[in-house]
Structure 1
């Protein structure tokens, strides 16, 4: 019985580590995507219609 519990604990630890690594990788990918998109998302210059609404 103890052997099974130990194996389950090891499996849980491996899965937890894999999930943490996956999350780190996904966060890094999301940060890279945001950094690539940031310059492309410059605010549009104000038009005369925008200025009239103020």
Structure 2
């Protein structure tokens, strides 16, 4: 029996999704008091931003 793979067509590029995710994470972090959870959100935002820079370099932009 063959499994059917569900595919999704992405409307936004990976870079756009990462930028959007980073902005959302930073916004959520700003609303939180200082602590471990806030630091984790900020770390994830920086990782998303780094991902956009890495992909820009690999594309030669």
- The TM-score bracket by the shorter chain reads 0.3 to 0.5
More helix by share: 1
Structure of higher CA gyration radius: 1
TM-score (norm 1): 0.47
TM-score (norm 2): 0.42
